[in-house]
Amino acid sequence: MRVAVIGAGVIGLSTAQSIYEQYHSIVTPLIIEVYADCFTPLTTSDGAAGFWQPYLYDKGNIQETKWNKETFDYLLSFLSSPESVKMGVFLQSGYNLCTEPCPDPSFKDIVLGFRQLTERELQLFPGYNFGWFNTALMVEGKTYLPWLTDWLQTRGVKFYHRKIGSFKELAETGADVIVNCSGIRSRELQADPELKPGRGQIVKVDAPWLKHWICTHNFTAGTYNSPYIIPGSRLVTVGGVFQLGNWNEQSNSADHKRIWENACQLEPSLKHARIVEDWSGLRPVRSKVRLERETIQSSPTPIEVIHNYGHGGFGLTIHRGCAQEAARLFGQIVEQKGKGPKARL
């Protein structure tokens, strides 16, 4: 059985991994191929800070909170192994700061040591009168994606540097199942008016004295439009902007100035940091993740597609839970096609 995965960001690679893990001993032969016009270190996943945190509120979408938790627990399980260093996974504590009191976030029972900030802590951050402290995970794309790529290549998964223009193109070359993990580019493969770019821009700086992440939440400005400072293993990521509908992937000096001034106001010691690079990318924004099967009628045979895209600014936060769900959908197709022993599915 031939599986073609479109997209080599964290969603595409982790989905290929989950399908392999669950079915390589059931479906024989199982040939998995990854097609992309952009590989690590040039994907959106590579540019992200790699901080595990979804949006504050799931707005009733408990399925996504479940996938977030599955991802957190999966990554957490690697901390007892030396492999975690190769994966770019480590613990990091920090502050969520709010301009006004608000309900606890949907992820409060997923992270470690969640608590409200004390008055004394809040005095460190003028302008913010409410917030929480917790320990979360970092999973840095620039390390994690090469680890996933290596994991897949070791197990015989093939990678092709090629832009896919349509699902039919892959079906005609013999793919039995197509997994669409192409992020914002899904619009080029199939119309989806719900999918929009959420442009982000960040500044990476050398500031090794910063040890805690700080995420601010201004409910008037909206998600990601107020400053955040996220120390990584080597550099500190400073943001942020969230510009819905903006397709520009170039960094822009006005955004840089605003990000930098706001961050320095939040953490004045940043004025002594060495700026290393600017980066911008497009978050694939949707009201909810599209994770579902679709059978596209085509001649001579229908095309089986699994869609897994629309993860906004939290692809690294949710990737494993979504990959496992996509693999479960793949199992349904296997069963229907009669390609594997039903008793084991």
Query: How big is the CA angle at 252 (ends 247 and 255), to the nearest 5 degrees?
Result: 100
Which residue bears the tokens 């009669």?
338
pLDDT at 325 > cutoff 60: yes
pLDDT digits (tens, 9 = 90+) for 238-269: 998 999 999 999 999 999 999 999 999 999 99
Cα 243 to Cα 28, 136, 222, 327: the distances in Å are: 46, 26, 10, 32
- Cβ neighbours, 10 Å, residue 323: 30
pLDDT digits (tens, 9 = 90+) for 277-320: 999 999 999 999 999 999 998 878 899 999 999 999 999 999 99
User: Based on C-alpha coordinates, what's the Rg of the chain?
Assistant: 21
Provide the mean pLDDT of the chain: 95
Nearest to 45 by CA among 100, 76, 19, 7: 7
d(CA 75, CA 51): 12
CB-based contact 339:27 (threshold 8 Å):
yes
Q: What average pLDDT score do residues 8-20 get?
A: 98
pLDDT digits (tens, 9 = 90+) for 154-191: 999 999 999 999 999 999 999 999 999 999 999 999 99
d(CA 90, CA 242): 26
pLDDT at 225 (0 to 100): 86
- Tokens (6 digits) for 161: 């540097």
d(CA 170, CA 303): 9
pLDDT at 86 (0 to 100): 97
pLDDT at 343 (0 to 100): 40
Please tell me whether the overall predicted TM-score, pTM, comes out greater than 0.85 for this model. Answer: yes
pLDDT digits (tens, 9 = 90+) for 59-116: 999 999 999 999 999 999 999 999 999 999 999 999 999 999 999 999 999 999 999 9
pLDDT at 299 (0 to 100): 75
Q: What average pLDDT score do residues 40-61 get?
A: 94
* ω into 29 cis (within 30 of 0): yes
Which residue bears the tokens 């032969």?
29
pLDDT at 341 (0 to 100): 55
Q: What average pLDDT score do residues 120-145 get?
A: 97
DSSP H helices, 33-82, are 44-47, 62-77
pLDDT at 340 (0 to 100): 57
